Amino acid sequence: MTAKATTALCAVGMMAALPSVAAAQNASPISDTTIPLLYDRGRNTGVLDRARPEFEAAGIPAGSFTLYPKVTLGAGMTDNIFQSQTGGKSDQSLWVDPRLLLQSNWTRRSLTISGGGNLLRYINNTSKNQNGWDVQINGTQEFAQESSLVLQGHSAQKFESQFSGSTLGDLQTAVPYNDSGASLRTDFHLNSVRLVAQIDFTRYNFGDVVTLGGVTVSEANRNRDVFRGTGQAEFAVSRSVSLFAQTSFERTAYAADFSPGVPNRSSNSYRVIAGVSFDLTALVRGSVGLGYIKRDFSSALYTNLSGLSVESKLEWFPSGLTTVSVSARRLIQDSMAQGSSGYFATGGNLRVDHELLRNVLMNASVDYERDDYKGIQSKADVYRLNGGVNYLMSRTVGISANIGYGKRTNNGVVVGRVFSETTGSLALTVQR
* pLDDT at site 20: 46
* pLDDT at site 412: 87
Query: What's the whole-model pTM score?
Result: 0.89
* pLDDT at site 34: 60
* pLDDT at site 416: 78
- List domains and CATH numbers for the chain: 3-313+390-431 (2.40.170)
* pLDDT at site 381: 95
Q: Which of 142, 148, 61 is nearest to 102 (CA)?
A: 61
Given a cut of 50, the residues of the chain with pLDDT beneath it are 1-13, 15-23, 30-31
* pLDDT at site 335: 85
